[in-house]
Each structure stands twice: as structure tokens, then as C-alpha cells.
Structure 1
Amino acid sequence: MKTKRCEHCGDHLGARHAHNARFCSGRCRMAAHRSVRRQADPVPSAMTRRPQWVRHTSRKVPLSVAGPKVRPASSTDPETWSSYSKVCRSAAGAGLGFVLSWADRLVCIDLDHALLDGELRPWARRIVEGLPETYIEVSLSGTGLHIWGFGSVGRGRRIRRGDSSVEVYDRGRYITVTRQPFEDAPSRLADLTQVIDDLL
């Protein structure tokens, strides 16, 4: 009979374990589940390793969990920002947000009302098809897209497109993060300089 091994550490599962046991201990079971969660997290490491995270309310008001009490956060005050792991552990508010700071060249292109019944509208499809491979996620509303990458904008810009708009920011703003990738968007960031130049 083949000896079963723990799926996390590889140690033999002794006779005291049930025949359908997968792990040798509670510690290995929890470590394995944490590992799966980390692997499944689509947010690029270029974002998660930066301490520029906040929570937000259902009305998109940014919240700070940096101190002992939850309080309003500011997109221009680093003292109100936290690490990714800390905001993920917090239950405050309704979700996560990332603060854009000019120092790291991270940029977000917000395509408002880009999706109609789950399908890209033609103007948004043209933008998305011209992108290098970069992280894109569906916005909180379910009708917009947030395109993340590297670039420089300076003063944020908003371009109207009928009943829709394209916004581009690289500083002084926080953007909600849903962790819901659009289609097969990769968990990495690309240089969006040319795309931004074309848009603006």
C-alpha cells in the first residue's frame, strides 16, 4: 500500500490520520491554504509590495487602518496609508484602495462605462486591444475598467467620450481595487507611456 504524504510539507501521514487526510497538522493545513490564496491573488507585486494601501467605504470614502482606530485616509498623507497585508486583514469598510504617488511611476487609466452587459464597448475595445500585457481589473460598478501600469501623467486628466470618460492619474488619488481581473489580464505591470501619450 502506498504511503500518503502531507500535501504541504511532504511528511508521511501516520496511521493516526484518517484515510482521506491531506495534511499532517493544522499548521500545514493553514499554511497550504494561505499559499493558495497568495497564488490566486491577481494583484501585481509591484503594487502589493508598496505601503500605499487604504480601505474604503461603500461610498468610496478612503479609510486608514494605519493606527489603532479606523479614521479617514488622505491620498496625499502617507501616514494614513498601510501595507497590502494589513488592509487585507482589516474588515473596515467595504474594500481596498491603492494610493497613487508620483515617486513610483505607477499609473491608472480608468475607463468609465467601458462595459455594457459584460461586453467591451467599441471605443473601449480599441484602447484595450492597443495595450501591452498589463494588469486590468473590473471596477466596483462592474461597468468600468482600471488599467494599471507604469507611466507619468503629472496633473490628472479626464477625457469625455459621450456618456463615458477616460481618466488618467499617477498621483494624489486613490483608486479602488477589486481584485477581479478583466478577461485574462496578467498579474504584472507594463509601461503605458505610449498608450497615455496616444490618449492625451
Structure 2
Amino acid sequence: MPAALRRVPRWVCHKAKVPYDPSALRRKASVVDPATWGTFDQAQTAYEESEGNRDGVGLVLAGDGIVGVDLDHVVHDGAPDPAAMALLARIGCQFIELSPSGTGLHGWGYGPNIGGRRGKLDGINVELYSQGRYLTMTGRPLKDGPLVELSGFAAVADALRGSDENSTYRREQRSTEDDSSHLPFSSVGLPHQTLPAIEGERNKKLFELARWLKGTRADATRDELRVMVQEWHRQALPVIGTKDFATTWIDFLRGWEKVRSPHGATLAAILSGIDCGAPLPDTIVALGYGEAGNRLYRICMALQAHAGDQPFFVSARQAGEMTGMHFTDASKVLSAFVADGVLELVVRGVGRVASRYRLAQANGGQT
């Protein structure tokens, strides 16, 4: 597998096409939850030590320029369809490998963030993805070239959108090799805060879903949003009185239009105001936390400034995502901050509830 992909910390395992968190044997992964991803080594080790409970590993696409091409049922008796290879050449793929079944092909490279496209082109079932999906990797390359800029990726995406065959392909509803990777999330991918726990929470939680999706999937098509709302409705059914999906759908659309502060907007504004070139306090420099630790300290400073004299919330998983560290490493850095008196742990988080901290005044805090 290309080193450029192995370096990306967005790997999962899979079993029967369902993605799993490499750090937890029983927990499914979600393509919208970085806390359920890991490094390549973590995913590979989890697969090798699973004793048959995992079928392989896969990579989550997150809109950072890495894109994937998925062609189904184009390898027959070990030989790829010439039309499929011609299509991959048209896109520009230099790294192409067999799918787990051996009947499909996956091409990898760099391209624009187009979300996803599915359809038929030149008689080939083709899917292009840049975010919100995972694709399996087998380590069985058919063409073992480097990851390159896919010069034809955008053009083929546009051709799929305008192709008459595209609507026919959707009507066929074919089951593809990596069917679960085409969902915007796994069956557990909806954040817990968007799902009602008791009767009477339906409208509030549906608005939270709209707010979350507008912050994380603002470019989703109407069809993609509908799939996600259908999944929400399915999971919420045991505790909501409204059994008709049409009612849920129209209420979601009304909520979507009313959202003024999408999920993550406040945090994004806080982070955008961080001056990475500003000098750190001498006491922090002397502690020698390193680049990632210093970056996390700057984030804590910004969160404290936003919170004023109140404690601020941050979880290890969130800290890891913001700094590029694995969440276990981020947890250790936060613990070091507390041990060194840089942070005061006000309330320890439990489960999915983030811990609350206060920055020590002697180290540049606001209190």
C-alpha cells in the first residue's frame, strides 16, 4: 500500500463490509467520527490479531485531497475489463488495486473535493469519492504506481452528474463490493446528541441533527441528506411518536433552513483566531512539550479566552483531532498539563462528556 496513504491516520478495519474502530473490537466505526479511526499500524495490527473477526483494513476519505475511484464487477477470471482500465486511465490513476472480492477495482490519487458521484460511464459502474466514505484496501495492486494528481477526476465527476445512464444506475439499486462505504456514516455514525432518548425530544433533536449536518456536510445533496435523515428516523423510532417519515423529513428541512450557527462554527471561529507565531510564555517553553503539545496549549489559551472566567470544555479525542495527535497521546499531554500545573482539571469527563479545565493564571490564563 502506498506510503502516502499509510501515513494518514484515518484507518479502520472492516467485517462483512461494515467498518470497525481499530482500537475497539466490538465498536463500529463512523466516517464522520475521527474518534473511531486509527493509524495504519493500529488497523493492520487489529486485523492480524482479530482471529478472523475482521476481513481487512480500509481508509476514510475526509476531503483533504485524497480521493478514491470504485469500479464494480469489472474483473472476470482474474482479467480486468479493458473498458474499466481505459476509464481509470482517463481519470489518471497510477495506483490501482483489486477489491476484496477480486471482482472490482479501486483507484487512488489526489483530486478536488467533490463529495461523491455514482453512475455509469462507458458501460462501467463507477463511483468517485473524496469525503464522507471509506474504501477498503487489500494490498493487491494491479498497477503499482505513485499517488498522483488525477487530471481527469473532476471531468469524469461532471460527466457522471450529466449522464443519462446515471439515473438508470440509481434505479437499479445494485449492491456494490463496499456497500457500507457508500453510506455517509455507519449504523452508529450519528452523534449521540442528535438522537432522542425519551419522548418529547423529537423536535429538539431533529434540529440538532440539522445543525450538525449543516456544520459537517454543508455540501451534501438533497438525496444524501434524505438518506441520513432516514437513518435518524430509523434509530429514533422506538422513542418518538411520529412514525411517518414524511413528517420527519419536512420538519428536518424546515430546521435546516433555520440553522444560523452550524455545528463546529463557534470552535472554528475560535481556532481561526489563534496566532501561531505569537511567543509562548517562558514557563511553557521551559517545559518542553514539543510542537504538538505547544499547539494544544495555544488551543487551550484560545478556549479559555472565549470562556472568560469559566472553565472550558475539551475532550482527548477533540484535542487529538485539532492537533493531529492520536487521542491517547492527546490525553497524555492534557494529563501532563494538569500534573505540571498548566491546567486545572475542574470536572473530569465521563463517557462522551468532555472534561472541563481552567488555564492556570501563572501560565498565561485569564483567571
Q: Is 1:175 aligned with 2:135?
A: yes
- Rounded Cα–Cα distance in structure 2 between residues aligned with 1:113 and 1:95: 20
Where does 1:110-189 land on structure 2 (aligned, <5 Å)? 110-130=70-90, 132=92, 134-161=94-121, 164-182=124-142, 184-186=143-145, 188-189=146-147
Once the two structures are aligned, what percentage of the paired residues are identical?
38
8 Å Cα contact 2:29-2:37 kept in structure 1? yes
Aligned CA RMSD, in angstroms, stands at 1.9
2:20 matched to which residue of 1?
A: 63
Point out the structure with the larger strand share.
Answer: 1
- Rounded Cα–Cα distance in structure 2 between residues aligned with 1:66 and 1:132: 35
Structure with larger RCO (C-alpha < 8 A, sep 6+): 1
Quote how far apart the aligned CAs of 1:161 are.
4.8
Give unpaired runs (5+ residues) of structure 2: 158-367
Picking from 50, 63, 66, the partner of 1:106 is 66
2:44 matched to which residue of 1?
A: 88
- Rounded Cα–Cα distance in structure 2 between residues aligned with 1:164 and 1:49: 31
Question: Structure 1 pair 133/76, CA: closer, same or farther in 2 (3 Å)?
Answer: closer
Quote how far apart the aligned CAs of 1:164 are.
4.3
8 Å Cα contact 1:134-1:148 kept in structure 2? yes
**Aligned with 2:84: secondary structure?**
helix
- Rounded Cα–Cα distance in structure 1 between residues aligned with 2:147 and 2:122: 29
Point out the structure with the larger helix share.
Answer: 2
Runs of 4+ in 1 over 2 A off after TM superposition: 128-134, 160-164
2:12 matched to which residue of 1?
A: 54
- Rounded Cα–Cα distance in structure 2 between residues aligned with 1:73 and 1:45: 23
Give unpaired runs (5+ residues) of structure 1: 1-42
Picking from 73, 78, 90, the partner of 2:29 is 73
Which amino acid is 1:195 matched to?
G
Q: What is the aligned residue count?
A: 152
Quote how far apart the aligned CAs of 1:132 are.
4.1
8 Å Cα contact 2:98-2:104 kept in structure 1? yes
Which amino acid is 2:57 matched to?
L
**Aligned with 2:131: secondary structure?**
coil
Quote how far apart the aligned CAs of 1:162 are.
8.3
- Rounded Cα–Cα distance in structure 2 between residues aligned with 1:199 and 1:82: 31
Quote how far apart the aligned CAs of 1:84 are.
0.4
Q: Is 1:97 aligned with 2:58?
A: yes
